[in-house]
Chains A and B, each alone.
Chain A
Amino acid sequence: MQQIAKIKQDKSVRPRLIWACLCVALLVSAIYVTVSYRLTADITVRSELKAMGNITSLVSNELSQLKSQAIDAENVDTILSEILLSAVNSPAFITVSTPQQQWHKNLLISSSERSTLLQIVAEAEDNAEPIEVEDNTFLWQQRSIGQYQITFVQQTQALDVTLEFVAKRLLITSIIVFWIAVWLALTLASLIARRAEQVNESLAYIATHDSLTGLPNRLYLIELLENSLGPATDDTDTPVDEGCLLIVDLDRFKEVNDSFGYAAGDTLLREVARRVSGLISAPAQLIRTGGDEFIIWAPDYTIERAKTLSLEIVNCCNSPILINGLTVNSGASIGISHYPSQANDTAGLIVCADTAMHKAKAMRSGWQVYDNKKIADYKDILQLRAELSDALAQQQIILYYQPKVDLATGEITGAEALCRWQHPRLGLLGPGEFIDLIEHSGKVQEFGRYIIATAAAQAEQWHSEGLLVPIAINLSPYNLLDPGLADFIGETLQRHNIPPQFIEIELTENETCINIDYIQSALAQIRKLGVSLAIDDFGTGMSSLAYLSELRVNVLKIDRTFICDLTTNQGHRAIIAAAVTLSQSFGCDMVAEGVETQEQARMLYDMGCRAAQGFLFARPMPAEAFHDLLTQQQPQFSNTF
C-alpha cells in the first residue's frame, strides 16, 4: 500500500545521476591523462634513442677511418672520450669489442654497473624498452661494423622530463574538464530527475484517482486512513483524534445503467460526484471506491456532524438530475462509522460503515449510523469466512440428529440431520453462526453435496445394522440451483446402497419462492429418484398457497412459532388446524416442530397431527448417541406423553 508513497518519495535519481556523471568524468580524465603521458614518454624515448644512434654511428665512422695498424687502446680511448665528453651529459659508457679485444669508456658510471648493464643488453631483444637498474633508467644502442661491435648505454631522463613537461598542462586541463563535467552532471541530473518526478507524480495520480470522476480511489483512501488512524509512526502520518467514515451507495444506479446505457450511468456518477464534492469541505475527502459507491472520510467529525452531512447528501441525491432529456434521481443510502468509538482501523471502519449502509438501504432510511457496539464481531465473521474452506476439507462440519416421533406410538419415525461446526478454536458452533456465511461464500453447493454425502454414509451405516430410519436433510434453495444435484443424489444413494425413501429433503418455505420454475423442475427430478420432499418452517414464509400445490411435497413441517404458545394462542391453534386439514387434503404428512411440553404434544395429537419433534423428546445429538437411542427397546418415547 505504501507503493505510491515510495514513487513520490524516490528522490535518489538525482544524486545517483550526479555521481554517475562525476565518475565518468574522472574515468575519462584518468584515461586521457595516462594516454597523454605515455604518448609523450614514448616520443621522448624514441628521440633519445635516435640521438644515441647518431652517436653510435659517429663512433663507428671514427673507428673505420683509423688504419688497421693504428687501432690500439690509446687511439680508441681518445675517440671514445672525445665523443662522450662532447655529446653526452648524463651517466653513460661506450664499449667497443672485437673478437680479440674490448675497449670501454665510462662517464659517471662505475665498472660494476657497466658490466651488469652489458649483461642485460646482451640478453635483451629490443632496445625500445628502457632498462631499470638500481632505480636508474637506461637506454642502449648497438651497432656492428666489420669486426667491431659498438655498444652505447646512457642513463635517460626522458620520463622525468616528460612528467615535468606535461604534468602542469594535464593538471590544469583536468581541472577544467572536471569542472565542465560537474556542470554537465548537474544539468543532466536535474533535467532527468525533474522529468522522472513529473512521470512519478502522474503515475501516482493515475494509481490513486478514478478516471471517470477524477476523485481519489480506494488505494488513496486506504493510504489516507493508514496515515490518519492510530499513533504517528513516520513523517507522513497525520493522526486524528476522531473522524467519521461515510459510505454512500446510490440506490438506483443500476436502473439508470440498464435503462439508459453506460454513458448515462457515467453522467450520473459524474454529476453525483460533483454535487457531493460541493457539500464537503477540506479536510473531509470524497473518494470513489468503485461502481456506484463513494466513501467520505471526514476527520474531526462527530457522529452528529456526520448525520447532518448525510442528510444533505441524501437530499442532494434525491434532487433530479437531467440525463438524456429525462430527469432521474439516483437516491442514496449512507452508512456512518465513527473512529475510534466503533472501529479503530481501516478495515473495521469500512466494514462498520458498510453494514450500516446495507441497513439503511434495507430500511429505506437514507442513512444509518453503525450501532453494533461489538467492534470485534466483524473480525470473527471475517475469520470464520476464511476458515470455511478448511472446515469442509477437514470434515469439521458434522451432523447432529434429532428424532421425529410418531405421536400415536412414541416410536422414532425419522431423524432430521442438523449441521454443526466442530470449530478447532471456538468449539461447537450452531448453524445460525455459519449457514449465512456459507450461503454468501460461493461454497453453498459444495456444502450441500457434503451434507448429502455425510447423511447418506450415516444412513448406510445404520442400515447395515438394521436400523431403518429415514434421514431428513435441510437444503437451501441455492443448492437446488446446482444443476447436477439430482444426479449427485442418485449416485450417492446408489453408491451407499440406500433405498431412496430413506432420504428426505427439507426446504424452507420462504426460500422456495426464489426462481420457483427452476426449483420446481429440480425438485421434480429429485422426486423422480423416489426421495421424499418436505417444506420446513411451514407457515412463516412468504409464499402463497399456490406454491404448495405446485411443489407437491410429501411432508409439511409446521413452524415452531405456532407450537410454542399453542395452549394459549387461539389464533395459532386455528392455523395448526388449518395446516392439518391442508396436509390431509394434499395427501402429505405433517410434522410439528419445537414441541416442548406434553400438553402441546397431546393437543397436536388431538388436532390430527401424527408426528412431532422437539426438546420434549430429544435435543439434536451426535450420531453415536442417536444410534444408542435407536437400539433401545422400542417404542422409545411411549412414556413421554
Chain B
Amino acid sequence: MAITSNLNPLDRSIRGVIGICITAFALFNGDLIGDVFIEVLLGIFGLLNLISLFSGWCPVYQLAGIDTRKH
C-alpha cells in the first residue's frame, strides 16, 4: 500500500488541529483523565491524526478508496 497523499488541505488541517489538541491533552492532563489506558488510547488517536497532518495521507481513506483532494 503506497503512501500517497489523499487529503485535501482543509481535511488535513482539521486533522492537524484535532491531533495536536488530543495529543497535548493526553500528555499534559493525565490527572484529569485518571486512567493510563485511556491516556494511551487518546495518545494513539492523536498520533494518527498527526501522521495525517504531516504526510497528508489517511490509511482508512486509502483502504476505502476515498480521495478528498478531488473534491
Please give the residue numbers on chain A whose beta carbons come within 8 Å of chain B beta carbons, in ascending order: 168-169, 172-173, 176, 179, 183, 186-187, 189-191, 194
Contacting pair A194 B65 (CB below 8 A): yes
Known contacts: A186-B66, A191-B64. The answer to whether A176 contacts B42 by CB under 8 A is yes
Interface size class of B (residues with CB under 8 A): 10 to 19
Closest partner residue, chain A, to B45 (CB atom): A176
Contacting pair B45 A189 (CB below 8 A): no
Contacting pair A189 B64 (CB below 8 A): yes
What is the 8 Å Cβ interface bit string for chain B, positions 26-68, against chain A (1 contact, 0 not)?
Answer: 0000001111001001100100000000000000110111100
Contacting pair B64 A169 (CB below 8 A): no
Closest partner residue, chain B, to A179 (CB atom): B45
- How far is A191 from B61 in the complex, measured between Cα atoms in Å? 11
- How far is A54 from B38 in the complex, measured between Cα atoms in Å? 35
Q: Separation in Å of the A33 CB from the closest CB of chain B?
A: 14
- Nearest first, the 3 closest Cβ-Cβ pairs linking A and B are A190-B64, A187-B64, A183-B60
Contacting pair B63 A187 (CB below 8 A): yes
- Chain B residues with CB under 8 Å of A176's CB are 41-42, 45
- Chain A residues with CB under 8 Å of B45's CB are 176, 179
Contacting pair B65 A190 (CB below 8 A): yes
- Chain A residues with CB under 8 Å of B35's CB are 169
Interface centre among A169, A172, A187, A194 (most CB of B within 10 A): A172
- Chain A residues with CB under 8 Å of B66's CB are 186, 190
- Chain A residues with CB under 8 Å of B64's CB are 186-187, 189-191
- How far is A172 from B45 in the complex, measured between Cα atoms in Å? 11
Known contacts: A173-B41, A190-B66, A194-B65. The answer to whether A168 contacts B60 by CB under 8 A is no
Partner of A168, one of B32, B41, B61, B63: B32
Could you list 29 A-B pairs, sorted by A, with CB under 8 Å? A168-B32, A168-B33, A168-B34, A169-B33, A169-B34, A169-B35, A172-B33, A172-B38, A172-B41, A172-B42, A173-B38, A173-B41, A176-B41, A176-B45, A179-B45, A183-B60, A186-B60, A186-B64, A186-B66, A187-B60, A187-B63, A187-B64, A189-B64, A190-B64, A190-B65, A190-B66, A191-B63, A191-B64, A194-B65
- How far is A186 from B66 in the complex, measured between Cα atoms in Å? 9
- Chain B residues with CB under 8 Å of A189's CB are 64
- How far is A190 from B63 in the complex, measured between Cα atoms in Å? 9
- How far is A173 from B39 in the complex, measured between Cα atoms in Å? 10
Q: Separation in Å of the B19 CB from the closest CB of chain A?
A: 12
Q: Separation in Å of the A574 CB from the closest CB of chain B?
A: 89
- How far is A173 from B63 in the complex, measured between Cα atoms in Å? 24
Q: Separation in Å of the B48 CB from the closest CB of chain A?
A: 9
Q: Separation in Å of the B57 CB from the closest CB of chain A?
A: 14
Closest partner residue, chain B, to A191 (CB atom): B64
Q: Separation in Å of the B44 CB from the closest CB of chain A?
A: 9
- How far is A194 from B66 in the complex, measured between Cα atoms in Å? 11
- How far is A187 from B66 in the complex, measured between Cα atoms in Å? 9
Q: Separation in Å of the A519 CB from the closest CB of chain B?
A: 71
Q: Separation in Å of the A546 CB from the closest CB of chain B?
A: 80
